[in-house]
Each structure stands twice: as structure tokens, then as C-alpha cells.
């Protein structure tokens, strides 16, 4: 059996292979530990509560440790993502909580707030927008400029910048929120 130091040096693929073949719970434990941020984030997104998300992460450890040997898994990351999502949806169904997705935040990148980009702006709004765009980090500013000002798609932005698709979506969403907060703050001061 490999010791803890040896295990931490293995790649995710190597840990996955050892977890499937051998009875080495330490290998699976290390592999799962590396994916806890993704699993927790996904659980928090669906369950909307830190305590429930933490419970789900623990439940998922048990569930996945059993399922990993039962299925022919080609890509552990993708498989774990799907299993986690399904686990959360089942939890939501069991407690019969209504499940709502805020379409403005997750699907529609061009929410009402960004009508500022489409309509005539007052001098104050234009100044606030320019000032706040300059306050954004480079990644958020570039992503927003490409998406809103140059009408580039996510794929175009990935090609141009080299950022991953997930990063581009995150930069746009977080940049949009930061802009909204900044513009609101600046307009109140005027």
C-alpha cells in the first residue's frame, strides 16, 4: 500500500485507476479530497444552504466510493459532476422544496441592468460606467468588453484570451455584479 506522501504525488488519473482496481481507501480519499471544492460548490448552488451542502459532500463521499467500482467511468470529473448534480436534485425532491433558477443571473447575461449599454445614457451614467469599467480586474474587464461591446460569443472570448469557458462565464457574471455595485455607489455620490 502506498503511503500518504506517495499518494499526494499521484495524478488524478492514477488515483482513479488505483481506486477502481485495488482496495485502497486512501487513494479514493485523496482523489475525492481534490474534488471537494467542485462538489461543495455544486451542492451549494443547488441546495442553497451551507449546512445542506456540507452534508451532501459527506453523503457523496459514501455514495461515490461505492459507485466508482460499479460503473465503467471514462472521465471521473464529468461523471462525478453528474452524480453530484443528480444527488442534489434527489435531495430537493425528497424535501419537496420548490426549485427555482433565477434566469436573469444564470442564463441571461444581458439582464435589465445592462440596458445602460443599449440606451441613451446621462452624463452621470456614462461617467460612472467608464469609471467602474476601469476599476474591474483585467480578466473581468476584457471579458465584459468582448461580450457586451464587441458582441463576441463565449467561444470567441475563449479563443481570443485563452481563458477557460468556465473562467469566461465567471468573469462576466462577477464583473457584471461588480459593475452594478460600483455604478450604484458612484451614482449615489453624485
- The answer to whether the CB of 147 falls within 8 A of the CB of 160 is no
pLDDT winner (highest mean) among 76-80, 113-117, 120-124, 167-171? 167-171
Domain co-membership, 66 together with 131: no
Single residue among 62, 95, 128 that ends a domain in this structure: 95
pLDDT digits (tens, 9 = 90+) for 101-140: 554 444 444 444 444 455 566 778 778 888 888 999 999 9
Task: Give the residue-averaged pLDDT of 60-89.
Answer: 85
Single residue among 42, 75, 95 that ends a domain in this structure: 95
pTM of this prediction?
0.46
pLDDT digits (tens, 9 = 90+) for 26-49: 887 888 888 889 899 889 888 888
The parent domain of residue 130 ranges over 105-189
pLDDT of residue 108: 44
Residues 6 or more apart from 148 whose CB is under 8 A from it? Answer: 110, 114, 117
Domain co-membership, 42 together with 21: yes
Amino acid at each position: 500500500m502506498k503511503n500518504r506522501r506517495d499518494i499526494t504525488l499521484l495524478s488524478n488519473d492514477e488515483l482513479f485507476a488505483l481506486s477502481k482496481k485495488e482496495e485502497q481507501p486512501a487513494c479514493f480519499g485523496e482523489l475525492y479530497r481534490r474534488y471537494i471544492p467542485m462538489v461543495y460548490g455544486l451542492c451549494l448552488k443547488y441546495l442553497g444552504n451551507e449546512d445542506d451542502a456540507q452534508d451532501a459532500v459527506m453523503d457523496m463521499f459514501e455514495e461515490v466510493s461505492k459507485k466508482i467500482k460499479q460503473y465503467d467511468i471514462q472521465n471521473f470529473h464529468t461523471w462525478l459532476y453528474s452524480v453530484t448534480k443528480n444527488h442534489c436534485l434527489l435531495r430537493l425532491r425528497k424535501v419537496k422544496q420548490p426549485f427555482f433558477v433565477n434566469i436573469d443571473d444564470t442564463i441571461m447575461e444581458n439582464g435589465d441592468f445592462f440596458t445602460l449599454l443599449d440606451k441613451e445614457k446621462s452624463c452621470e451614467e456614462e461617467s460612472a460606467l467608464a469609471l467602474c469599467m476601469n476599476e474591474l480586474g483585467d480578466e473581468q474587464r476584457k471579458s465584459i468588453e468582448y461580450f457586451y461591446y464587441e458582441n463576441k460569443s463565449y467561444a470567441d472570448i475563449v479563443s481570443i484570451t485563452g481563458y477557460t469557458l468556465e473562467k469566461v462565464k465567471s468573469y462576466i457574471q462577477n464583473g457584471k455584479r461588480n459593475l452594478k455595485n460600483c455604478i450604484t455607489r458612484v451614482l449615489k455620490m453624485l
